[in-house]
Amino acid sequence: MKTFKKILIVMIAMVTIASCQVTDEDTVAEVASEAGMIINVVTTPTSSILGSPEGGVDLKDAKVNITNAYLDLTVRLSSGNLDNISKIEVVKSFNGGAEVSLGESTTLPYNIVISNLTDLLADTGVVESDLRIGDDLSFKTKVHKKDGSVFYYSTSLGDYSLVVNCSSNLAAAYSISLSSGVYTCTVTEVSPGVYYADRVPFFSNAYWFEFTDTCGVLKMTDFQYNPGNQLEGFGYVAANGDLVWESVSVGGTSVDGWDIVMPRLP
């Protein structure tokens, strides 16, 4: 299979209002000084929106029969205190649309559990028949201070996204055959459809990489090498479970448009 459709995952749109926003670029000291505390958001591995797209239709247009819709999200206090905080609020938006309040609390940890699609989509104006693979239901954490100021914790500090996807089960050991020898690559699931591999194809050194699986279409997203060397690669999951990578390139190296098959080991 030399040709396949590259699926573009809908990226999180930033919500802009008249407030302050704490980003990953701010230092921990700066965040603690402005917001008075540091939080982090964790979810269970079962938090996902998964389903099966209808057959005979382009994936981007196919309706999705949802088989799992679940969120178990906890906002935790990492440092600081709530002395100057009036409440913690979790908001959601669908594909970067209007912000909807999901819930709020005056104490931490704050746990939200939603076990059905209707409640997950409530007040977004979206129903199951509207959903397509790659749609994004994102969650942000807002901190309301007693002085009336509001802070958003963005990206890894306080965000989480449920991306509509197919079920995926690629966590396993795979073989990589190079001229220098045969190596084993262990793939583990980070979150639904997102994977960590402990060895990059084409390198005998064990650099890790991450990739996504969107209904059998693979995309390399990050890796350990050198920030100046960009990794690009797409692929697909073969019928026998092998990972087939096509047109893999690493900037500044001889790896340019290379293909490789990673057989799944028993």
Q: Judge whether 128 lies within some domain.
A: yes
Co-location of 46 and 158 in the same domain:
yes
Q: Which amino acid is residue 22, in one-letter code?
A: V
The answer to whether residues 66 and 182 belong to one domain is: no
Alpha-carbon separation of residue 235 from 89, 125, 214 (angstroms): 39, 34, 11
Structure tokens at 241: 């479970």
Copy the structure tokens of residue 183.
Answer: 């190596």
* Structural domain of 206: 172-262
Contact call for residues 128 and 62 (beta carbons, < 8 A): no
pLDDT in tens, the chain (266 residues): 433 333 332 222 222 222 345 444 444 444 555 667 888 899 998 999 999 999 999 989 999 999 999 999 999 998 888 999 999 999 999 999 999 999 999 999 999 999 999 999 999 999 999 999 999 999 999 989 999 988 887 666 778 999 999 999 999 999 999 888 999 999 999 988 999 999 988 877 778 999 999 999 999 998 876 666 788 899 999 999 999 999 898 877 878 889 999 999 99
Please state the separation of Cα 187 from the chain's center in Å.
16
Cβ contacts of 179 within 8 Å, gap of 6 or more: none
Q: 190 and 142: one domain?
A: no
* Shared-domain flag, residues 140 and 192: no
Examine residue 202 and state whether it is found in any structural domain, yes or no: yes
CATH number of the domain within which 76 lies:
2.60.40.10
Q: Is residue 6 part of a domain?
A: no
Residue partners of 266: CB distance under 8 A and separation at least 6: none
First vs last C-alpha separation in the chain = 23
The CA distance from 99 to 120, in Å, is: 13
- Tell me: do 228 and 144 sit in the same domain: no
Same domain for 46 and 137, yes or no, is yes
* Domain end call among 141, 163, 185: 163
Q: What is the pLDDT of residue 32?
A: 52
Q: Are residues 159 and 185 located together in one domain of the fold?
A: no
CB distance 232 to 249 below 8 Å: yes
Query: Does one domain contain both 80 and 189?
Result: no
Domain end point (choices 125, 141, 163): 163
pTM given for the model: 0.76
Instruction: Report how many domains make up the chain.
Output: 2
CA gap 187, 202 in Å, rounded? 16
Q: Is residue 15 part of a domain?
A: no
Q: Looking at the domain assignment, is residue 54 inside a domain?
A: yes
Q: Are residues 45 and 99 in the same domain?
A: yes
Classify residue 8: in a domain, yes or no.
no
Three-state SS for 13?
Answer: coil
Asked if residue 9 is part of any domain, the answer here is no
Which among 136, 163, 190 is the end of a domain? 163
50 and 143 co-located in one domain: yes
Same domain (yes/no): 42, 120:
yes
Instruction: For residues 127 and 186, state if they share a domain.
Output: no
Sign of CA dihedral 54, 57, 62, 68: positive
How far is residue 207's CA from residue 197's CA, in Å, rounded to a whole number? 9
Which long-range contacts (C-beta less than 8 Å, at least 24 apart) are formed by 14-18?
Answer: 14/96, 14/154, 15/91, 15/93, 15/96, 15/99, 15/140, 15/152, 17/99, 17/150
